[in-house]
Structure 1
């Protein structure tokens, strides 16, 4: 790829060289519910309520109440588009991330004068300062607790050893200078926040919005693949073969991504909590990746905003929680994490792994397993068990043979229908911790579940027993060059 991508704008310009990847509109749009309502039909996909489909990313050039700002949605809501942006075949993206993880390049710091993200500065001490007017964050549905930042790269540093971490979190704009922050239990930034809170100190934090997609994908790696203290920006450096550039914030002791479209500088206030839906009282938060609207949380940590900086004519980047965009951001790192562990434990047996969209990139993985000899029988189920270890939020694993296209759901279901018997090919592992946003993980749903967040993990073995492989050969068609008949 000769076109060099190093930020959001170069990503957009590169995609414009391909047909049907970027759609722009100058028609005025209301960020309250309309942006997501429109994109649901254009290209959301994922677990969004039907009708929906995959399609181009969309740029809204005329956002009500936000002159000189644009909103981009759906940049990564297509595996093909992610492949274009990372210069890799869509089916090989998990392998690409695995290689980048094995060959990281640490980020570097640049001067404030070089930082495009600080071209325009708004201080919280300025009269009239209001993050809701400065940032065109969409409200995804009419029930949402408020405008949400859904693509914010949250960056914080360990107060003890100085190691930094970057992740994406649910951020609701609650007032002119306060943002609530939802942490799924076990997230690294929450561990850092608790270190500061233990000493009754505010935690400096930056939120970078609108960055190189390599950063957005890399930030979604999770433990044990990236343990506490591993800076995922080094994976983005490996993807681009050059370091990510960081810059010192202007009002807090933290760094931000230097070429971001927006940066929010602030502090997590110790022992301060806020009800997530304090402005709406709907009991709802926002649409989440399983396809349901998350319940608002009664007590969430609060970020006190100190400043907002941005590029001239900034582009706000957003996504729909249940969309294909979340699938790709969460799912491709999931695939890489599983591949890393399986290739070490079972070299030569794993052809590929796919984090299926129906699980939002987290709940379901399809493993393409190669049985080369009778001794490989049973190893495929070991692979499934290892996948649960590689990614703890995984709920279901489907095992298929090497002749099944794991990226074609019809082909996977064909394997389930012709190579699977429910009484012998289902393996259940009850009482295991999973992801808290699965609404079926409650004692009310099943008496086998002791508390919210506990799940029954399940393996669906849709592979042919090795000694029967000769009886399960797919029909072989003649190989032809169809160009002779179809131009």
Structure 2
């Protein structure tokens, strides 16, 4: 078993290589079993996601599914000049390879990147391949639904969704910026319905300032990016407070500033090396029914593995322009409950938990993993170090610290240092051999959590859930008492450095 150790970014000089989605694909193509493409025609309406569900979605997707390669669909029905890519981040090992880091230690790596940001820079249009082709919403033939090959996940979806679009917006005075990812449904030829989850999203804070002035908020939606960018953008408070530009985390990870370009139709910047940029405005104090075109009652599948309910009042986004690369631009998409969401949401949360706990009780938590079972948000496994008998109990304090900062966290499992937190059998082994239910379960009631968890409804538990989004939270303490350490030593095996020699002819 490889034990997790603190990992820091390697010292690198500023590289001249330009990182973007296409450079990442070249790396993937050189990795056996990590990339697959097809020229067979695929329908973006449910079929594309339905096929990839079997090939590599993973996560909380309905079985059968598995971890598999990223996949490029070159022949998308109705979109002869565009390709669709899915699943680039749907494997933690693949994320580690693309980040040029050990996949076991990605939380530590991102934690270090937050502390050493490299701010984005602005380039001219000549250096922005994302603006090689320009479509204005005022053009007679403009229709986002026939221009952008946005798939649906299921036949019940409210419409085609942009699922991997990085939204960039700024405060009205232009001094603060934010990037984040939202579910965005194509409602009409120039209209997007955007769901901004209440609380914690700085885009929402900026929007309130615009709405107070009754002015539209300019935004860009960048699609088809260096895979490191979507991971960096999903950090949340308290790790990245209001005004912290998460693109600087991607800059640190790459040791290369993310390049931005001024919009052609709105006063906001997009990511210059994207495949697509949608330029738009969020209309002030205006909303619309998310499933207005289908009335299905559903939005799209969300990370817990269930269909998300359509929101009766999503924000109205009016498109002003769409720009893209001229050479077969790539629409990057994801399946809502797939392993891709686990990477985007879970790894930054691991980094944030490590940062918070290490500041409060240094040296106690050696590594953290947010597994697919929780969609990257609902569950964390914490690896605990104890030096003496006096450290017993500190592990539960670490769990409480994690709960205090991340309201979407529902379950914490605590294990000792000799347990591989990335191996479910090893984690469950410790629950079966270092755990007594009457002593080692702690339940916290009446707390806030994520409203997409369908069990968090008053009708499920009317005694403790007063309003939707409230939850009980669970700590499973699978660490042994330090004064009984000698009784919990795993069976010793000979350490054989050259064991692979016996596998060769």
Tell me, yes or no, whether TM beats 0.5: yes
For residues 258 and 161 of structure 1, the distance between their equivalents in structure 2, rounded to whole angstroms, comes to 19
**1:345 paired residue number:** 360
* CA apart distance, 1:13: 0.6
* CA apart distance, 1:371: 1.1
**1:443 paired residue number:** 458
* CA apart distance, 1:389: 2.4
Aligned residues: 487
**2:476 paired residue number:** 460
Structure 1 residues 112 and 18: alpha-carbon distance in aligned structure 2, compared to 1, 3 A threshold: same
Question: 1:294-313 to 2 correspondence within 5 Å?
Answer: 294-312=308-326, 313=328
Q: In 2, are the aligned partners of 1:37 and 1:140 still within 8 Å (CA)?
A: yes
Q: What SS does the corresponding residue of 1:174 show, helix, strand or coil?
A: strand
Q: What SS does the corresponding residue of 1:98 show, helix, strand or coil?
A: helix
Give per-residue Cα distances to partners, 1:5-38, cap 9 Å, x unaligned: 6100000011111101110000000000011000
**2:221 paired residue number:** 207
Indicate which of 229, 232, 249 corresponds to 1:218: 232
Residue 343 (structure 2) pairs with residue 328 (structure 1)? yes
Residue 62 (structure 2) pairs with residue 46 (structure 1)? no
Q: Which runs of 5+ in 1 are unaligned?
A: none
Indicate which of 89, 94, 99 corresponds to 1:86: 99
* CA apart distance, 1:483: 2.3
Give per-residue Cα distances to partners, 1:260-290, cap 9 Å, x unaligned: 0000001001122110111111100000000
For residues 229 and 453 of structure 1, the distance between their equivalents in structure 2, rounded to whole angstroms, comes to 27
Give per-residue Cα distances to partners, 1:433-478, cap 9 Å, x unaligned: 1111111111111121110111111111111011111111111112
Q: In 2, are the aligned partners of 1:211 and 1:260 still within 8 Å (CA)?
A: yes
Residue 84 (structure 2) pairs with residue 68 (structure 1)? no
Higher deviation after alignment, 156-165 or 332-341: 156-165
**2:209 paired residue number:** 195
Q: What SS does the corresponding residue of 2:414 show, helix, strand or coil?
A: strand
- Across the aligned residues of Structure 1 and Structure 2, the Cα RMSD in angstroms comes to 1.2
* CA apart distance, 1:160: 3.9
**1:385 paired residue number:** 400
**1:483 paired residue number:** 500
**1:425 paired residue number:** 440
Q: What SS does the corresponding residue of 1:469 show, helix, strand or coil?
A: helix
* CA apart distance, 1:132: 0.6
Q: What SS does the corresponding residue of 2:503 show, helix, strand or coil?
A: coil
For residues 5 and 423 of structure 1, the distance between their equivalents in structure 2, rounded to whole angstroms, comes to 56
For residues 415 and 3 of structure 1, the distance between their equivalents in structure 2, rounded to whole angstroms, comes to 47
**2:8 paired residue number:** none
Residue 267 (structure 2) pairs with residue 250 (structure 1)? no
* CA apart distance, 1:184: 1.2
Q: Structure 1 runs of 4+ off > 4 angstroms? A: 1-5
Indicate which of 382, 386, 392 corresponds to 1:371: 386
**2:7 paired residue number:** none
Q: In 2, are the aligned partners of 1:159 and 1:192 still within 8 Å (CA)?
A: yes
Give per-residue Cα distances to partners, 1:177-235, cap 9 Å, x unaligned: 00000011112111211111111100001000011111111001011111111110011
Q: In 2, are the aligned partners of 1:335 and 1:354 still within 8 Å (CA)?
A: yes
Q: Which runs of 5+ in 2 are unaligned?
A: 1-11
* CA apart distance, 1:345: 1.6
For residues 241 and 119 of structure 2, the distance between their equivalents in structure 1, rounded to whole angstroms, comes to 16
* CA apart distance, 1:316: 0.3
**2:410 paired residue number:** 395
For residues 500 and 309 of structure 2, the distance between their equivalents in structure 1, rounded to whole angstroms, comes to 54
**1:95 paired residue number:** 108
Give per-residue Cα distances to partners, 1:280-330, cap 9 Å, x unaligned: 111000000000010001111110000000001100000001000000110
**1:291 paired residue number:** 305
For residues 111 and 484 of structure 1, the distance between their equivalents in structure 2, rounded to whole angstroms, comes to 56
**2:489 paired residue number:** 473
Indicate which of 237, 250, 257 corresponds to 1:236: 250
Q: In 2, are the aligned partners of 1:29 and 1:63 still within 8 Å (CA)?
A: yes
